[in-house]
Amino acid sequence: AQRVTQPEKLLSVFKGAPVELKCNYSYSGSPELFWYVQYSRQRLQLLLRHISRESIKGFTADLNKGETSFHLKKPFAQEEDSAMYYCALGGNYGQNFVFGPGTRLSVLP
Amino acid sequence: ETGVTQSPTHLIKTRGQQVTLRCSSQSGHNTVSWYQQALGQGPQFIFQYYREEENGRGNFPPRFSGLQFPNYSSELNVNALELDDSALYLCASSKTGGDIYEQYFGPGTRLTVT
C-alpha cells in the first residue's frame, strides 16, 4: 500500500539556517513524488516534483530509492518560507495521491 | 485563466443529513479530484473524475459519491453524515492528456457536522 510519513509536525529554524524537511514513502512501483506547500491564508500549491529536478524558491529534493526518502532541503531559510509543507506520492494516471501529514516550518527572525 | 473555485465556503449540517459540495475546475482542465482534510492531517484522496466517470477511488465508503458535468465541473455528495465527516474538502483539477500530476487546488469547503 502507498504510504507517506513526515516525522516532524513542527520544525523551527532561524533565518539563514539550513532546512531539511523529512519525507519517507512506501510504494511497490516506480514512485512519483512531490512537495506541496500551503502558505498562511493561501491554497495548497505544488512546490516541486522529483521528475523535474528543478530548484524552486531555493528548495531542492532528491529521490533516494534505497532509503525510500524524498527530503526537502534549502541551504538558507527565509522568513517567507514559513508554511505548511506536505510530501505527496502520486499513483497511476494521477489517481490516488497520498499526502503525508505535513510539517509546519517556522523560520524565526 | 480562471482558477479552481469551490462552493460553499462553509457549511454546517446535522448528523444523518446529506450534503452537496461544488467545484469548478480551472479553465482547460478535464479531470477533477476530491480530497478530505481532517484537522491536523494531510489531504486524503476520495476519488477522481474524468469524462464524467469515476476514475479512481480512495478508501471511502459508498455514501461518498460524485458527479462530473460536461463542462468539467464536479459535485461531491455525502449521505448519512457522521460526526467524523467534519473536515475541509478540497477539489483539485488537472489536465489528463497533458501533465496529469499538475494539480491545482481550490480553497476548500469547511464542513462541520453536529
* Residue of A44, A45, A92 to mutate when probing chain B, most B C-beta within 10 A: A44
Picking from A46, A91, A101, the nearest residue to B42 by CB comes out as A101
| Residue keyed to cell 479531470 | B31
* Residue of A23, A97, A103 to mutate when probing chain B, most B C-beta within 10 A: A97
Q: What would the 3-class secondary structure string for chain B be?
A: CCCCEEECCEEEECCCCCEEEEEECCCCCCEEEEEEECCCCCCEEEEEEECCEEEEECCCCCCEEEEECCCCCEEEEECCCCHHHCEEEEEEEECECECCCCCEECCCEEEEEC
- Is A45 in Cβ contact with B42 (below 8 Å)? no
Categorize the per-residue pLDDT at B1 as very low, low, confident or very high, splitting at 50, 70 and 90: low
Per-residue confidence (pLDDT) for residue A99, from 0 to 100: 94
The DSSP code for A32 is: E
- Is B43 in Cβ contact with A94 (below 8 Å)? no
Per-residue confidence (pLDDT) for residue A94, from 0 to 100: 58
Percentage of chain B lying above the pLDDT 70 cut: 95
| Mean pLDDT, rounded, of chain B | 92
The C-alpha cell at B77 is: 455528495
Categorize the per-residue pLDDT at A27 as very low, low, confident or very high, splitting at 50, 70 and 90: confident
Per-residue confidence (pLDDT) for residue A39, from 0 to 100: 94
Contacts with B35 from chain A: Cβ below 8 Å: 97, 99
> Does the pLDDT at position B23 exceed 80?
yes
The C-alpha cell at A76 is: 538558507
Q: Which has the minimum average pLDDT: A10-24, A85-99, B84-98?
A: A85-99
